[in-house]
Amino acid sequence: MPYSDKKPGKEKYVWVLDYLPYGDPADPRPAYQKRPSAHGIGENYFVLIEMIPKEGVIPQIGERVYIGDDGRDVIDHVKRRLEYNLLTHGAKSELSYVLEKIVLKNESRFIKFINDAYPISTRQHMLELLPGIGKKLMWAILEERKKENFTSFEDLTRRVKGLHRPESIFAHQIENELVGNVRYRLFTTRPPEPSRKKGRRQN
């Protein structure tokens, strides 16, 4: 089955979606108490993240930054995981473009998905979950795949007529999953439920 609710692993690289020079606008503290922050998306698990840059460093939108445990040049620390509705308007606007960059940089991962995709029920194939892939394109992909696995996006679009810009198809699917309006998750995990603080029982 398409994976959905597994916990994501730890991200090492994040792509910057927006820079907030005055910090989180929802933070009620005075401006002088807030630090600049940045919204970004993880390269591997597509986790949405708010990060605190190092003092004096301004991350560039579309920049790929390292957030692993050693040698950070741009980011001081990760503040929290975000849900889609907490992204700034600017971050939401950049998301599809950045996702296409991530998909292209990791092309082999998504070609493997095309080569390995399988039926999820007697009536639906995993390929049909991708935006714009209907029965006709699905069968065309499967027929070509029987002959030989696809090796690249160029190979895929050359052999399957009517299939264009696979990076856009995958980016659209990932964005839909982040928004939350999908039944199956192919590439992302569901954000954790907000923690509930213990308090007095309400009568």
Contact 21, 53 (CB under 8 A): no
| Predicted pLDDT at 52 | 95
At which of 36, 51, 83 does a domain end? 83
pLDDT at residue 92, as a whole number: 98
Q: Are residues 18 and 67 in the same domain?
A: yes
Which domain, by its residues, includes 43? 13-83
Q: Is residue 1 part of a domain?
A: no
Residue 196 belongs to a domain: no
CATH at 58: 2.40.50.140
In a domain, 130, yes or no: yes
E strands, 13-148, are: 13-20, 37-42, 48-53, 64-66, 75-81
Q: Are 78 and 113 contained in the same domain?
A: no
- Residue 203 placed within a domain: no
The residue among 195, 170, 169, 173 whose CA lies nearest residue 182 is: 173
pLDDT of residue 203: 39
120 and 173 share one domain: yes
Q: How distant, in Å, are the alpha carbons of 29, 50, 51, 56, 132 from that of 33?
A: 6, 17, 16, 16, 47
pLDDT at 114: 98
Question: Does residue 120 sit in the same domain as residue 174?
Answer: yes
Residue 190 within a domain: no
Does any domain span residue 90? Answer: no
- How many domains, the chain? 2
CB atoms within 10 A of CB 154: 11
Tell which residue, 110, 87, 103, 92, has the closest CA to residue 156: 110
CA 158 to chain centre: 27
Tens-level pLDDT at each residue, the chain (203 residues): 454 555 667 899 999 999 999 988 888 888 778 899 999 999 999 999 999 999 999 999 999 999 988 778 999 999 999 999 999 999 999 999 999 999 999 999 999 999 999 999 999 999 999 999 999 999 999 999 999 999 999 999 999 999 999 999 999 999 999 998 788 999 998 766 655 544 444 43
Kindly state whether residues 79 and 108 are assigned to the same domain. no
In this predicted structure, what is the pLDDT of residue 64?
A: 97
CA quadruple 171, 149, 136, 125: dihedral positive or negative?
A: negative
